[in-house]
Amino acid sequence: MQTKIYSINEIQAAADLITNGQLVAFPTETVYGLGSDATNETAVSQVYAAKGRPSDNPLIVHVADVETVEKYAAIISPAARKLMAKFWPGSLTIIFKLKPDVLSKTVTGGLTTAAFRFPNNQATLKLIKLAGRPIVGPSANTSGKPSPTTAQHVYHDLSGKIAGILDDGPTKVGVESTVLDMSTDTPVILRPGAVTQAQIEAVIGSIDTNHHQVGQNETPKAPGMKYKHYAPRAQVYVVDNAKEWAKVVDWVKQHGKQVGVLADDQILESFINLKNVTSYSLGSGIEQASANLFAGLRQFDDQDSIKVIFAQGYENKGLGVAYMNRLNKSAGGAHFSSLNN
């Protein structure tokens, strides 16, 4: 199969592919998603095959209006409607209980719930409207690898496996949406994202956060809940604070291995004269770091000589909760402090 990259002036052609049961990657404000007709079970099955994704891992359904969600959700509470009014279109995914038999188990992972998102990207909203149906949209990458934030990342992973990629340039947020489960008595965040707990609670009051890591044989209720995820080939180690970076420099000098360093511009200055270091800038501050994290991990993934990556940790608050969630899963929980002892 030849994979064609479509410009935003060619959205109709990309939508026609979706309508005809083909797979098309699409841009959102968070990461690129892998789209197919959510009502076409054969097409949805091809999404799992293209990604190499376990079939028990449910898919997010992307919509271009609230009315589409009303067709599928059994109940949309007043609290959920407040959130939709505040954050849609945007980086909030909401899980609802479904009406009977409205979506196939291929979409839901066999659950009686499904996750819905109204992305904040005009090209993709037009794609959904022209296709005339909701589209599933897991991240458009090989399952378990860092999520794609450019069309080129998608092409790297899925060229020859999907029909097309709608290119709208680099994404802005860089980490996937917040997933909020509204099918339970108390709303719970299953995956942190750019919409924070504090922002949600400002609209609907107290919610919960899920700290349970999904085991190998468990069915996750939302994407990204497996323990190790977003991982490059090299082992990632999280560097938790500024004081540890001097020890990282010493470790790199002592061991002489080719390593990757993923950090802000100020920290990278410490590694300028070390020939065995390949660096990637996270920019400055948590917003830029979140936007650049997956691109940095992918950059190192293309360099076979790099077996170890040291990545900057940020304070676990606000957007930093989502950033650290992704980074810790990329590292499989490994931190430099444990390597150093």
Are 70 and 130 in the same domain?
yes
pLDDT at 143: 86
Q: Which of 137-141, 195-199, 223-227, 332-336 has the lowest mean pLDDT?
A: 223-227
Predicted local distance difference test score (pLDDT) of residue 118: 98
Confidence category of residue 301, pLDDT binned at 50, 70, 90: confident
| Region 161-180 average pLDDT | 97
Question: What pLDDT shows up at residue 221?
Answer: 74
62 appears as a binding residue in the annotation? yes
Q: Is residue 229 part of a domain?
A: no
What is the percent of the chain where pLDDT is above 70? 94
CA distance 183 to 57: 17
**% of the chain at pLDDT higher than 90:** 86
Q: State the pLDDT confidence band at 185, using cuts at 50, 70 and 90.
A: very high
- Shared domain check, 62 and 156: yes
- 240 and 203 in a single domain? The answer is no
Q: Is 186 annotated as a binding residue?
A: no
Do 301 and 166 sit in the same domain of this protein?
Answer: no
Same domain, 64 and 158: yes
pLDDT of residue 87: 98
For residue 217, is it within any domain?
no
> Is the domain of 189 the same as that of 293?
no
Q: What integer best gives the mean pLDDT of the chain?
A: 93
Query: Strand, helix or coil at 310?
Result: strand
Q: Mean pLDDT, to the nearest integer, of 157-186?
A: 96
Q: What is the pLDDT of residues 256-294, one digit of tens each?
A: 899 999 999 999 999 999 999 999 999 999 999 999 999
Range of the domain at 51: 4-209
Please tell me whether 183 is known to bind a ligand: no
Model confidence over 303-328: pLDDT tens digits? 889 999 999 999 999 999 999 999 99
Q: Is 108 annotated as a binding residue?
A: no
* Residue 13, both tokens: 């052609």
Q: Is 132 left (phi over 0), alpha (psi -120 to 50) or beta?
A: left
177 is in an annotated binding site: yes
- Residue 306 burial (CB < 10 Å; 0-12/13-18/19+)? buried
Rounded to whole angstroms, the Cα distance separating 257 from 23 reads: 41
CB–CB of 290/175 below 8 Å? yes
Tokens of 98: 């479904």
**Which pLDDT score, from 0 to 100, does residue 44 have?**
96
- Cα distances from 291 to residues 58, 193, 300, 323, in angstroms, run 25, 12, 16, 9
What is the value of pTM for the model shown? 0.92
85-110: average pLDDT: 96
Instruction: Clarify whether residues 316 and 199 are in a common domain.
Output: no
Tell me the two tokens of residue 232: 């490059």
Q: Is 230 marked as binding a ligand?
A: yes
pLDDT at 341: 59
Tell me whether residue 147 is annotated as binding. Answer: yes
- What CATH code is carried by the domain that includes residue 153? 3.90.870.10
pLDDT above 90 (res 232): no
Q: Which residue has the higher pLDDT, 217 or 163?
A: 163
**211 is known to lie in a ligand binding site:** no
Q: Does the annotation place 298 within a ligand binding site? A: no
pLDDT of 57 reads: 79
What pLDDT score does 231 carry? 80
Q: Binding residue per annotation — 57?
A: yes
Give the per-residue pLDDT at 53: 77
Is 113 labelled a binding residue?
A: yes
Q: Is residue 78 part of a domain?
A: yes
Q: Residue 144 — pLDDT band, cuts 50, 70, 90?
A: confident
pLDDT (tens digit per residue) in 48-93: 999 987 766 789 999 999 999 999 999 999 999 999 999 999 999 9
Q: Which of 209, 225, 246 is the last residue of a domain?
A: 209
pLDDT tens digit sequence for 124-136 = 999 999 999 999 9
**Into how many domains does the chain fold?**
2
